[in-house]
Amino acid sequence: MRHIVIGAGAVGGAVGGRLAQAGREVVLVARGGHLRALAEHGLRLRVPEGESVHRLPAVEGPEPLGELRADDVLLLAVKTQDTTAALDTWAAAPVTGGGTAGERLPLLCLQNGVEGPRIALRRFRRVYGVCVWLPATFVEPGVVSAPGAPLTGILHLGRAEGGTDDTARRIAEDLTAARFEAPVVPDVARWQYAKLLGNLANAQEALSGPIEGAAAEGLYARVRAEGEAVLAAAGIAHASVGEQRAVRGDKVNLVPPAGAPRGGGSSWQSLARGTGSIEADYLNGEIALLGRLHGVPTPLNELLQRLARTFARERRAAGSLPLADLVRLADEAREASA
């Protein structure tokens, strides 16, 4: 099995690097300065036990690989807002023996939110959802830090439409060998929606810094309460906080590698790198969408979505909105919707 990691950033780079360490065949897909750094210097993977360099094939698209192999697995790790462009590039790639990647190859969506698999199923027949519990940082081209120990992360996976199969189990075996726990579950969406509730904090962290202290934690609790109300109204099941804690236990503790910069979550990293886009439309925006469909007000999630989008578009610095100002804006939004 060859693992082609489409989007070798924080999550993709950590998974690809760990798979390479475990002796699996890996191809990294990236662009711009990150691709140049990977091609010239290799992937520098910083983990608790030290830094390693992996000189792996690095490409921008499928053309340099020629025909894809029948045993290839595509690991999609781009942000959701970049999903359509990435899949349009790879779905039509020819596969040895006939057919295209979209027709024949398995695609795993290692992404936050729940929209990625839905986009993928329009282009790929064999799509697998993944609930990604993997702390990782990518702010410097060619360098990825993954501070989880003793496991690097936990990756629940299953067929996007529900159920499991032998392909999911084979992929899980490779991930397990690469220092991940990879439960194969028939209801992966239930875990993805649980993760979505946690990811509602991403925009807040990107705007105003870590969710620490009474004021920040109080705001996040209000944002999450909107999400829980929306999922309840929509009849969408999700794993409870207690169930998640029981599964995770002490398996993924943060042990920052020496010299690794202190960073934030994926949305914070998008602002820190000045990418010009952010995934809030598919996190807080998912709650806003469901709220509108089911008649549940979501003013706080709408506010975070709007502010995060503005900060990304205007390339404002991560964490530059004072928390007191964000809380005031949240109070005003709540009052206006009452």
| Whole-number pLDDT of residue 5 | 98
DSSP H or E segment with residue 310: helix 299-313
Q: Distance between CA 186 and CA 22 in Å, rounded?
A: 27
| Whole-number pLDDT of residue 32 | 96
**Which one, of 300, 326, 312, lies nearest residue 209 by Cα?**
326
- 3-state DSSP call for residue 141? coil
Q: Which amino acid is at 280?
A: A
Give, in order, the Cα–Cα distances in Å from 9 to each of 29, 44, 45, 96, 143.
9, 11, 11, 28, 9
| Whole-number pLDDT of residue 69 | 98
Give the global pTM: 0.95
For 83, half-sphere exposure in the C-beta direction (CA atoms, 13 angstrom radius) is 28
User: Could you count the other beta carbons within 10 Å of the beta carbon of residue 282?
Assistant: 23
Q: Count the residues in the chain.
A: 338
In the chain, the N- to C-terminal Cα span, in Å, equals 55
Per the structure block, which two tokens stand in for 277?
């886009």
| Whole-number pLDDT of residue 164 | 98
| Whole-number pLDDT of residue 261 | 57
DSSP H or E segment with residue 75: strand 72-76
φ, ψ of residue 293 in degrees (nearest 5): -70, -30
φ, ψ of residue 137 in degrees (nearest 5): -135, 135
pLDDT tens, N- to C-terminus, the chain (338 residues): 999 999 999 999 999 999 999 999 999 999 999 999 999 999 999 999 999 999 999 999 999 999 999 999 999 999 999 999 999 999 999 999 999 999 999 999 999 999 999 999 999 999 999 999 999 999 899 999 999 999 999 999 999 999 999 999 999 999 999 999 999 999 999 999 999 999 999 999 999 999 999 999 999 999 999 999 999 999 999 999 999 999 999 999 999 876 655 678 999 999 999 999 999 999 999 999 999 999 999 999 999 999 999 999 999 999 999 999 999 999 999 999 98
**Cβ within 8 Å of residue 163, ≥6 positions away:** 186
Beta strands 43-47 and 143-145: pairing type?
parallel
Per the structure block, which two tokens stand in for 280?
């809030």
Q: Distance between CA 103 and CA 47 in Å, rounded?
A: 36
